[in-house]
Amino acid sequence: MSDEIRAFKMQLKPGAVAEYKKRHDALWPELADALRAAGIHDYSIFLDEDTLSLFAVLKLRPGMPIDALPQQPVMRRWWDHMAPLMEVEPDNKPRQWDLPSVFHFAG
């Protein structure tokens, strides 16, 4: 079984780019552990500086419990920590728009 790849978009608020990057550069070790435990082993976020859109791509190991990640206390604390910087849902989860795959090259 191969990895599952998920891509999605999020939205930063104006003036939040530097702080967003700073907080991710200092990612909490317990959050990194929770991401790994959920099966995420490769995760990148890219910024469109013109629109402040964030584009995330992550790779999941097959059969891992990613659906349990939003209930993890450390994930909830991270969402609360990041909420002032981005568009969020009422529970502070970042608003997220799934991006369907239209092309993949594996050479």
Dihedrals phi, psi of 94, to nearest 5 degrees:
-55, 135
Dihedrals phi, psi of 82, to nearest 5 degrees:
-90, -15
**Dihedral, 21, 3, 70, 99 alpha carbons, nearest 10:** 70
User: Of 24, 41, 81, 104, which one is the catalytic site residue?
Assistant: 24
24 a catalytic residue: yes
Place of tokens 């469109």: 48
Catalytic sites, residue numbers: 24
